[in-house]
């Protein structure tokens, strides 16, 4: 006969292989000492202090009024024998149920004591990493989708809170961190959801018509990632002198200053969905290859087409990109930082470069300006500046538009903002996952079949089709647009055109 642990671990393995492996290598602690049977024949875990997690008489009775149909998404911190969770699932069958424990050792001990496979295999139940796990906050942020799930309720058993009372501030901090990520992600989706949808659909149509391939690079050279930090001006002479030893990746706005200095990048990279990104390539050398995230402004690909430059697309974790990838394998590159400089760094790794150098990834404003000379923005401002509103005034309006931090290095003031600090943090924390692209031709994308399937699966309430359109739904929610079947179909068909 299988033990409780064997039954539970088999259920976990089907849905969360990484957590299963962690638990296999974990020894249960003694936080939970035993399980007793209540008067109503329910299993009640007991803490080592002797405190039961439920009533020893009728555990279900104490939760009869706890949950209502408005509780569409609940995070249960502390799962015990899942009596309260089972009651919730019966009361709100369409809910989303997120489970976690304080740490792996406690979770392992619980899974050894009581069989909760009925809960674990439920399609509405998601067992998250434990609260003290470094991946907990991101896992919660990925699972909780407010635009679909509604408000999140956090529920803990009173006995669980008393036993772990010293750790409750940490628990709250972890949850708050996750919710801050959710808020940030929702804000971004609500801002760009529609333009992302437009760009992805149009770029996929380019992939249907234009043969694309991942280029072969001279990986014996050093990949030079060039950002658009104010200090780029100081590096131009060095780059020019050592040009032959570099394969240059121009990250977005850095492109024009390099070209103006007579340095022609090998690659131009963009993740910007807005039309302003076109201004970054007003001068386009013939041998420059474009690398674009699928969400990037679709007009960029057309500019490269018109100029007969080679280019190819990559996908991110955008749900519609993931959906498209089920039709044709498209190379993945990390855009999670939100900055093209780190995207360029990731692409260089995936192209096989082992020697990588960066210039002008300043993540601050220095020298009294936010950008180097020669950017499209500096050109625009130079043309529009007046005695009443000079170039310096405009730069100041950019640098001081939000709260800033100031530091002085060698007599030079540097200013940074919360957003730039986030970019700098993401750069320091970046690690390559080791997945190198191989040179290959990318199959023509079957856009007609993709469009037809997406619409059909959306109309028939297929979950993955609805998930693919999640950012567009967030956009509609923010702008108070009625998100209906006809709106989705009309929007998808609206962006269908022949090249």
pLDDT in the model for residue 340: 92
Instruction: Report CA torsion sign: 436, 438, 440, 445.
Output: negative
Give the residue-averaged pLDDT of 312-323. 95
For residues 266 and 290, the answer to whether their CB atoms sit within 8 Å is no
What is the C-alpha to C-alpha distance for residues 202 and 209, in angstroms, rounded to an integer?
A: 11
For residues 141 and 182, the answer to whether their CB atoms sit within 8 Å is yes
% of the chain with per-residue pLDDT over 70: 87
Of the listed ranges 154-158, 344-348, 389-393, the one predicted with least confidence: 389-393
pLDDT in the model for residue 410: 65
pLDDT in the model for residue 259: 92
Locate 363 and state its tokens: 């993540």
Mean pLDDT, the chain, as a whole number? 88
Q: Model confidence over 37-47: pLDDT tens digits? A: 999 999 999 99
Q: Is the model's pLDDT at 303 over the cut of 80?
A: yes
Q: Model confidence over 320-365: pLDDT tens digits? A: 999 999 999 999 999 988 899 999 999 999 999 999 999 988 666 6
Q: Model confidence over 55-65: pLDDT tens digits? A: 999 988 888 88
Selection from 94-103, 225-234, 401-410, 487-496 with the highest mean pLDDT: 94-103
pLDDT in the model for residue 94: 84
Q: Is the model's pLDDT at 178 over the cut of 90?
A: yes
pLDDT in the model for residue 99: 97
Tell me the whole-structure pTM to 2 decimals: 0.81
pLDDT in the model for residue 278: 85
Which residues lie closer than 8 Å to 417 by C-beta, 6 or more apart? 402, 403, 404, 405
CA distances from 243 to 246, 306, 310, 359, 489 (A): 5, 27, 21, 13, 50
Q: Model confidence over 77-93: pLDDT tens digits? A: 999 999 999 999 999 88
Angle, helix 168-209 to helix 447-459, in steps of 10 degrees: 140
Q: Quick one: which of 168, 161, 169, 163 has its CA closest to 33?
A: 163
Q: Is the model's pLDDT at 371 over the cut of 80?
A: no
Q: Is the model's pLDDT at 121 over the cut of 60?
A: yes
Give the residue-averaged pLDDT of 159-185. 94
Higher pLDDT, 374 or 438: 438
What is the C-alpha to C-alpha distance for residues 458 and 469, in angstroms, rounded to an integer?
A: 9
Q: Is the model's pLDDT at 499 over the cut of 50?
A: no
Q: Is the model's pLDDT at 50 over the cut of 90?
A: yes
Q: Model confidence over 440-472: pLDDT tens digits? A: 899 999 999 999 999 999 999 888 899 999 999
Q: Is the model's pLDDT at 498 over the cut of 80?
A: no
Give the residue-averaged pLDDT of 404-433. 74
What is the C-alpha to C-alpha distance for residues 150 and 210, in angstroms, rounded to an integer?
A: 41
Give the residue-averaged pLDDT of 136-145. 93
Give the residue-averaged pLDDT of 186-191. 88
């Amino acid at each position: 006969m299988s033990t409780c642990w064997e039954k539970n671990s088999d259920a976990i393995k089907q849905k969360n292989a990484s957590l299963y492996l962690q638990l296999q290598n974990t020894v249960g602690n003694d936080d939970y000492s035993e399980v007793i049977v209540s008067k109503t024949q329910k299993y009640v875990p007991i803490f080592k202090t002797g405190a039961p997690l439920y009533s020893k008489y009728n555990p279900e009775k104490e939760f009869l009024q706890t949950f209502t149909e408005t509780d569409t998404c609940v995070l249960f911190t502390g799962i015990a024998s899942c009596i309260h969770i089972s009651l919730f699932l019966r009361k709100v069958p369409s809910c989303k149920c997120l489970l976690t424990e304080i740490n792996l050792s406690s979770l392992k001990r619980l899974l050894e004591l009581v069989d909760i496979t009925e809960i674990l295999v439920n399609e509405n139940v998601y067992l998250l990493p434990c609260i003290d796990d470094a991946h907990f906050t991101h896992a919660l942020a990925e699972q909780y989708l407010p635009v679909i799930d509604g408000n999140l309720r956090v529920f803990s058993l009173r006995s669980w809170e008393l036993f772990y009372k010293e750790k409750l501030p940490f628990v709250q901090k972890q949850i708050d961190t996750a919710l801050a990520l959710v808020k940030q992600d929702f804000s971004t989706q609500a801002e760009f959801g529609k333009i992302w949808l437009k760009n992805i659909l149009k770029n996929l149509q380019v992939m249907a018509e234009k043969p694309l391939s991942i280029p072969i690079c001279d990986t014996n050279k050093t990949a030079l990632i060039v950002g658009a930090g104010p200090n780029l001006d100081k590096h131009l002479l060095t780059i020019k002198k050592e040009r032959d030893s570099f394969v240059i990746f121009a990250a977005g706005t850095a492109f024009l200053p390099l070209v103006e200095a007579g340095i022609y990048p090998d690659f131009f990279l963009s993740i910007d969905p807005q039309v302003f990104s076109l201004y970054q390539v007003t001068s386009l050398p013939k041998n420059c290859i474009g690398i674009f995230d699928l969400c990037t402004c679709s007009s960029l690909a057309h500019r490269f087409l018109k100029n007969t430059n080679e280019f190819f697309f990559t996908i991110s974790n955008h749900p519609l990109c993931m959906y498209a990838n089920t039709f044709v394998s498209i190379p993945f590159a990390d855009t999670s930082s939100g900055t093209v400089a780190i995207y360029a760094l990731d692409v260089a790794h995936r192209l096989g470069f082992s020697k990588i150098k960066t210039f002008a990834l300043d993540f601050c404003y220095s020298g009294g300006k936010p950008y180097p000379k020669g950017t499209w923005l500096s050109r625009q401002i130079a043309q529009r500046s007046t005695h009443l509103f000079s170039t310096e005034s405009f730069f100041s309006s950019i640098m001081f538009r939000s709260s800033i931090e100031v530091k002085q290095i060698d007599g030079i003031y540097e200013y940074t903002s919360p957003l730039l600090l986030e970019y700098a943090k993401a750069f320091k924390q970046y690690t390559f996952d080791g997945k190198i692209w191989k040179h290959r031709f990318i199959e023509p994308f079957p856009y007609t079949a993709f469009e037809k399937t997406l619409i059909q699966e959306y109309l028939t309430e297929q979950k993955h089709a609805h998930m693919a359109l999640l950012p567009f739904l967030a956009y509609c929610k923010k702008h108070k647009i009625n998100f209906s079947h006809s709106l989705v179909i009309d929007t998808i068909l609206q962006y269908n055109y022949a090249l």
